[in-house]
Amino acid sequence: MVAGLVTAFAAAICYGVAAVLQAIAARSTASVEGLDPRLLVRLAKSWRYLLGVGLDGVGFVLSLVAVQSLPLFVVQSILASFLAVAAVLGAVFLGMPLTRTDKVALALVVLGLALVGASAADEVPTSVSGSGPWIVLGATIALALAAIPLGRIPGARGATALGLVAGLGFGATSIAARMLPSPLTPSAVLASPAAYALALAGLVALLSYSIALQRGTVTQATAPLVVAETVVPALVGVLVLGDETRPGWAGVAVAGFVLAVAGSVALARHGELEA
C-alpha cells in the first residue's frame, strides 16, 4: 500500500510538469479545425511537447503500478493533485505568485488527500474478468466517436467539451489498467480487450486535450478533465471493481475525495500560458 501511494504521488508530479509543458506547446502551434490528428504530428516537432508526453508516459507507468495495489478513488484523487504540483512549480520557477484563494485550494488538496489515504483499505481491490474489459472497450470506442462532432465546437464551449472527453479518456485508461490480466505477459496483454481500450482511450484523451488547449484557456480545458478523470473511475471502482474503504471510513473517504478534487479544479488556472 505504501508503494502504491508513493508511485501515485510520483505520477502526479510527472503529470503536473507535463501539463505546463504541453499547454505551452499546444498554444504556440497552429490551430486545427475539428478533431484533426495532424495536430499531434505538428506538436511532435516541439521539444516541450515531447518532454511532456514522455513525462506523461512515466506518470502512466507509475499510475499503472499504483492501481494494482490501491482503490481507484485513492489513485485518481492523488493524480488530480497534478494541478497543485503545477501551481507550486509555477510559484517557485515561473514567477506565478499564489493568491489567497490558491493557498486555500492547496490546503484543501493536501487535507483531502490525507483523508483519502487514511480511509483506504489495506487489501488489494478485486479485479474484474469476463465481459468487463469488453464493456470498457465498447465505451472507449463510443467516446472516440462522440469526440468527432464535439471537436467541431469552437471557442470556450469546445475547450470544455473536449476537456471532458479527455478526462473520460484518461479515466478509461485507469479503469482498463485495473482490468489488465495478471501476470502481464505479452500474449495475455495482446489477447485482452482492456489493453486495446487503454491504448485507444489514451490516444483520444491526448488528442482531445491538445485541441482543447487551443480552443480556450487552460482552466476551461483542464477543470472538466480533472472532474471526469477522477469521479468516473472512482464510481466504477466502488460500484463494479470492489473498491472499499476501511470499515466505518466511507464518509471520510467521500469528504476527502470531494476536497481534493475541488481544490485541484480551483488551481486549474496555473497552466495558463499568459502567466
pTM: 0.79
Of the listed ranges 15-19, 261-265, 269-273, the least confidently predicted one is 269-273
- The yes-or-no verdict on residue 273 having pLDDT over 80 is no
pLDDT digits 0-9 by tens, 127-138? 566 788 999 999
Average pLDDT over residues 13-31: 77
Average pLDDT over residues 67-77: 83
Contact 140, 177 (CB under 8 A): no
Element (DSSP H or E) covering residue 126: none
| Separation CA 190–CA 19 (nearest Å) | 30
- The yes-or-no verdict on residue 196 having pLDDT over 90 is yes
Beta strands in 129-267 (DSSP E): none
- The yes-or-no verdict on residue 155 having pLDDT over 60 is yes
Burial of 94 (0-12, 13-18, 19+ CB in 10 A): exposed
CA nearest neighbour of 12 among 104, 95, 116:
116
3-state secondary structure of 245: strand
Contact 230, 86 (CB under 8 A): no
> Taking all residues of the chain, what is their mean pLDDT, rounded to a whole number?
82
3-state secondary structure of 107: helix
The pLDDT score that the predictor gives to residue 275 is: 40
pLDDT digits 0-9 by tens, 241-266? 888 888 888 898 889 888 888 888 88
Q: Looking at this protein, which amino acid is placed at residue 183?
A: P
Burial of 63 (0-12, 13-18, 19+ CB in 10 A): buried
